[in-house]
Amino acid sequence: DASSVPLLEGAVDAWHAGASSDGMKRNAEYLTPLVDWGAASPVVKALLADPQTSGGLLVAVPAGRAAEYLSRVEGAAEIGEVTERERFAIVVG
């Protein structure tokens, strides 16, 4: 759920001001056949593909333990669920 992903303060403004990286562009190209971006805006797509803000920030825990994890990790947010893969590896809603 793209609307649940916490964004770094100023990231959207920086993107609108032209901030970008070659890594972001390479990641976006690589992800093209793997991700169904749904109605995600260009800025959300860019920020989710940005290697400077995405590395090491995703954790998967069993659904029954999510609340406990969220209560223990400051700033943690539930952004989606892991399901059996269909056409795409990742579906952004």
pLDDT for 25-48, tens place per residue? 999 999 999 999 998 999 989 988
Alpha-carbon distance of 72 to 1, in angstroms, equals 22
Question: What is the pTM assigned to this prediction?
Answer: 0.78
pLDDT at 23 > cutoff 80: yes
Q: Backbone dihedral region of 75: left (phi > 0), alpha (psi from -120 to 50 degrees) or beta?
A: left
CB–CB of 46/16 below 8 Å? no
Residue 82: CA count within 13 A, CB half-sphere: 8
> What pLDDT, on the 0 to 100 scale, is given for residue 10?
93
Query: Quick one: pLDDT band at residue 54, thresholds 50, 70, 90?
Result: low
Which residue matches tokens 């793997």? 34
